[in-house]
């Protein structure tokens, strides 16, 4: 297996954190900036695949404006158990779990949890998402019986 320098691993962790901050604090430009212009966001929330900054911006705007996504706004994404598997010096597969903590019914609650599966690439010394897949295992807006 190819290995990545510690500095690259730290930059990938930072990328994951900037994604969360951009999403959680409504910093749209920061959020879009973690994806390459030709990046893809595949989301089980707001269903489907969104390509390029235009498509990803459409997803972001929808999640931040439609009433059905209100339980997810102003929350805090908590990524955990990050596993970085290098593919090449400039490409890695990243997997991690997440919990989204937000206020529901006036109290802090877990609004959703699931996992991310990413392909990140390094171009010009910078790591960004080439592809991010969001899989929500459960969410408070649409509880499951299981």
Please answer whether residues 22 and 14 qualify as being in contact, where contact means their C-beta atoms are separated by less than 8 angstroms: no
pLDDT confidence band for 146 (50 / 70 / 90): very low
pLDDT at 112: 86
Note the pLDDT tens digit of each residue in 16-57. 999 999 998 889 999 999 999 999 999 877 778 999 999 999
Share of the chain above pLDDT 90, in %: 63
pTM of the entire predicted model: 0.89
In this structure, what are the phi and psi dihedrals at residue 3, rounded to the nearest 5 degrees? -115, 155
Pairing mode of beta strands 76-88, 91-104 = antiparallel
pLDDT confidence band for 90 (50 / 70 / 90): very high
């Amino acid at each position: 297996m190819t290995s990545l320098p510690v500095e690259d691993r730290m930059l990938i962790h930072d990328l994951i954190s900037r994604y969360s901050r951009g999403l959680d604090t409504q910093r749209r430009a920061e959020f879009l900036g973690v994806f390459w212009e030709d990046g893809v966001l595949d989301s089980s929330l707001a269903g489907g695949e969104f390509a390029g900054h235009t498509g990803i911006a459409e997803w972001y705007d929808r999640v931040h404006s439609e009433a059905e996504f209100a339980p997810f706004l102003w929350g805090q994404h908590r990524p955990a158990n990050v596993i970085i598997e290098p593919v090449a010096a400039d490409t890695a597969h990243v997997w991690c779990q997440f919990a989204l903590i937000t206020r529901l019914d006036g109290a802090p609650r877990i609004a959703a949890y699931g996992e991310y599966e990413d392909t990140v690439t390094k171009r010009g010394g910078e790591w960004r998402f080439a592809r991010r897949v969001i899989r929500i295992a459960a969410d408070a807006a649409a509880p499951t019986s299981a």
